[in-house]
Amino acid sequence: MSDKNQTTGQEADQKPSFLSTFLEELSSQSVLIPILAIFTGFVLGGIIIALTTEEVYAAFGESGIGAGLGAAWDAVALAYGSLFRAAIGSPSRIFAAFAAGDRQEIYRAINPFFESLVATTPFIFAGLGVALGFKAGLFNIGVEGQLFIGAIFSAYIGYAFTGLPMIIHLPFAFLGGAVGGALWGFIPGWLKAKTGGHEVINTIMMNYIAFRLSEWLLSGPLKRPESFNPVSPTILDSAKLPRFFGDPIRFHAGFFLALIMAGVVYWFMFRSRWGFDLRTVGANPNAARYAGMNITYVTIAAMSLSGALAGMTGANEVLGVNYNLALAFSAGYGFDAIALALLGKNHPAGVVAAALLFGFLRSGALGMQLEAGIPIDIISVLQALVLAFIAAPAIIRTIYRLKQPEHGEGGFVLGGWGN
């Protein structure tokens, strides 16, 4: 008995601690690579900012290398400082506002932070849609069109159905957007499963149909009667997502709905039998078919669910931010979501984290342009650099001398033509 207890004690001593497990996760590079990719992107972005600032060249020419490097540092510090203040808020202003106790000044001081969360929300919905498709081995390029269709459904339900209480009208309008997106995702999913038509081409074509359809609707059936501009009527108050503060803060309940959907998608993909089938089909369609899984059903369902999440993106913008539908209302969320899903490793938690990064960058970009005079396109360059390093992790391993992982990189498998 004593020998057994001694053996058990030795095994317990050899059991890895939480810290060692966490460090092992980092060493597996599942978390470390994205962090280093973001850091490296910001470093290269700073170099680009310095190289595109006239004051830096003037300092090098007039005062030498030391003054030039100092001017470069000042330019980068000003750019990233203004980006931080526009995305988070000025700490000194926030403290002063709370000390003064002026509600309106407090709202203005904390507004940048909540505005960043408003910008983050559509990225979460759209990123989840792309990630779910990736997990099924489907490259859904149609999120932009699907969110337009979702916005059309939500806008129409939001203003045309009168006399409904909020407890009915709001879920009706929001779920209507999900149904619209699911319908627009079902079509390329059905074509993929039944005819072998590649989802990349089909979803791109569906995007154009959605764009032209929205233009026609906003110029005719959905156009606001008293307006000369192509814009829909304003949705009713009973269909608006609640806001939590007064003006100018636009933070609304859509952010928490997005987090809830991230939890639902996580449960679906990693805790349900349907999610297991979906991931199996995405990883190896031939093995899934041999195991008796219904490839046709999984493909159609995955594209429909991906489209539903994209439709929620459009519903969120109509019901929580704009309160109407206008031409080109989307800021490219559907296309940015592809990069976002890759950055988040197609995991719901990673998608939320990447959406926060994208949302805060987009919210802070305007402040960086106004305060520091740095073009807003620098943010797109930062996102592109980060995505490039995520897509080519060997570059990060070479720069930081990381070991090659023993079991590969993971990721997703996209079906070929007709698969």
Q: What is the pLDDT of residues 298-330, one digit of tens each?
A: 999 999 999 999 999 999 999 999 999 998 787
Question: With contact defined as beta carbons under 8 Å apart, do 151 and 307 qualify?
Answer: no
Specify the higher pLDDT residue, 209 or 56.
209
Percent of all residues in the chain with a pLDDT value above 70, rounded to a whole number = 89
Q: How many angstroms separate the CA atoms of 184 and 187, rounded?
A: 6
- Is pLDDT at 109 greater than 80 in this prediction? yes
| pLDDT attached to residue 11 | 45
Most confident of 52-56, 285-289, 355-359: 355-359
Residue 160 pLDDT greater than 90, yes or no: yes
Q: What's the pLDDT score for residue 342?
A: 86
For residue 414, pLDDT beyond 50:
no
Q: What is the pLDDT of residue 363?
A: 87
Per-residue pLDDT band at 292 (split at 50, 70, 90): confident
CA distance 258 to 138: 22
Query: What pLDDT is recorded for position 24?
Result: 54
Answer for the pair 36, 400: CB distance below 8 angstroms, yes or no: yes
Q: Is the pLDDT of residue 32 over 90?
A: no
Q: Share the mean pLDDT of the chain.
A: 86
User: In the predicted model, what is the mean pLDDT of residues 151-159?
Assistant: 96
Question: What pLDDT was estimated at residue 247?
Answer: 84
Q: What's the rounded Cα separation, in Å, for the pair 417 and 399?
A: 36
Question: What are the phi and psi torsion angles at 69 (to 5°)?
Answer: -65, -40
pLDDT at 412: 44
- Cα separation of the two ends of the chain: 59
Model confidence at 62: pLDDT above 70: yes
User: Is the CB of residue 109 less than 8 Å from the CB of residue 90?
Assistant: yes
Range of lowest pLDDT (73-87, 122-136, 245-259, 389-403): 389-403
pLDDT at 93 over 60: yes
Mean pLDDT of 401-413: 60
Distances (CA, A) of 297 to 141, 142, 280, 309: 20, 19, 13, 18
Number of other residues whose CB lies within 10 A of the CB of residue 134: 23
Could you tell me the two tokens for 396? 């990060």
Q: What is the mean pLDDT of residues 99-103?
A: 87
pLDDT (0 to 100) of residue 16: 55
How much is the pLDDT for 68?
87
Of 88, 160, 129, 152, nearest in space to 330 by CA: 152
Percent of the chain predicted with pLDDT > 90 = 50
Q: Which pLDDT belongs to residue 26? A: 47
Mean pLDDT computed over 183-210 = 94
